[in-house]
Amino acid sequence: MTMSAAAEGSVGVAATGVLTGWGAGIAALPRDAARAANGRPVIALPPPQIDGDRFRRATRECRLGAAAVEALLGDGGLTRAALLGSDTALIYVTATAYAGSNRAFIEQSPGPGALLFPYTAPSAVPAEVAIEFGLMGPYAIFIGAADTAMAALWQGALLLARRACERVVVLAVETVEECADLFARGRWLVRRPLVESAAAVLLTRDARPPVDLAAIAPRLRAVAQRAGETLACAPLIALALARAGDRPGSAPQGRRGRAPDREGG
């Protein structure tokens, strides 16, 4: 089944959540990322403050993933109960994976013999998100950038078309600040500025208007022009822009310039 066949007339975007180094929501995106960066190679996204003891030692990637889903709920006017249970699938996609936290762990480790164990796999992010929001449906992880995120969206559309679930959260988190020097060595492979991002979209069969996910790919260059290089987050940001009518003054998800607040507990 092609992406269009899986999605056309059957998939809509019910809500989106976007956090980038520019701020919270698509309204925080500049019109020209390169000009706004003013020579900065990386636009960092500060970790959100999340209440509750479970996130006290969580990595930046995990907190950003949870904050993106929280922003999605705010955008759609939804409660957590809307995602709870086995009818919600979770698909996670990332290009940078867990490189930042792994590098920080290695450099901060006190040496051989220390009884420390890092989150070493990108699966830690969707695992924390699934626990936090009670997602118990189908689950998949994709490793790669924008093209891979398109495949992740296709997988979500396919799950819905096959009625394997009622809704799909597609989540992407990209952090690069800890490994900025490594990205600098491969600077011919990625655009500048590199913009740290966390984005989530909620796909359902009944959201209107329906979207053709295949039409998102041609928009990615325009997304890069506006947002910068956001890797796997780019297609999700494109969906958020399309849902808002791509209006520069569209209302942001959460309060501009910081991650949305999360319920305590």
pLDDT digits (tens, 9 = 90+) for 105-162: 667 655 554 444 555 567 889 999 999 999 999 999 999 999 999 999 999 999 999 9
**Residue 68: its pLDDT value, please?**
97
DSSP-H helix ranges across 77-179 = 99-108, 124-133, 146-161
- Per residue in 183-233, pLDDT tens? 766 555 667 899 999 999 999 999 987 888 888 988 999 999 999 999 999
Cα gap 198→60, rounded to integer Å: 11
Q: Which pLDDT belongs to residue 158?
A: 94
Helix and strand numbers (H, E) in the chain are: 9, 8
Please report, as a single letter, which amino acid is at residue 249: G
pLDDT for residue 177: 82
Strand partners of residue 13: 203
Q: Which amino acid is present at 85?
A: G
Which amino acid, residue 96? T
Res. 102: pLDDT tops 90: no
Confidence at residue 82, expressed as pLDDT on a 0 to 100 scale: 97
**Greater model confidence, 217 or 168:** 168
Q: What is the mean pLDDT of the chain?
A: 83
What pLDDT is stored for residue 259 in this prediction?
A: 38
Tell me how far the alpha carbon of residue 239 is from its chain's centroid: 12
What distance in Å separates the CA atoms of residue 125 and residue 119, rounded to the nearest whole number?
9
The 10s digit of each residue's pLDDT in 12-30 is 999 999 999 999 999 999 9
The rounded distance, in Å, linking the Cα atoms of 197 and 43 is 9
Domains in the chain: ranges and CATH? 3-243 (3.40.47.10)
How far is 212 from 216, CA to CA, in rounded Å? 8
Q: Phi/psi zone of residue 159: left (φ > 0), alpha (ψ -120 to 50 degrees), beta?
A: alpha
pLDDT at 179 over 90: no
| Whole-angstrom distance, CA of residue 60 vs CA of residue 36 | 24
Q: Is the pLDDT of residue 80 over 90?
A: yes
The residue count for the chain? 265
The neighbour count for residue 34, using CB atoms within 10 Å, is 14
Q: What is the pLDDT of residue 258?
A: 37
When comparing pLDDT for 85 and 209, which is higher? 85
Say how far apart CA 84 and CA 91 lie, in whole Å: 15
| pLDDT for 145 | 92
Q: Is the pLDDT of residue 11 over 60?
A: yes
**What pLDDT is attached to residue 109?**
56
Of 256, 263, 251, 253, the closest CA to residue 71 belongs to: 253
Q: Are the C-beta atoms of 53 and 265 separated by less than 8 Å?
A: no
**What is the percent of the chain with per-residue pLDDT over 70, rounded to a whole number?**
77
Question: 210: which residues sit within 8 A by CB, 6+ positions away?
Answer: 7, 8, 9, 10, 11, 12
Closest CA to 259 of 62, 101, 56, 42: 62
> Above 90 in pLDDT, residue 234?
yes
- The pLDDT, as a whole number, for residue 35 is 96
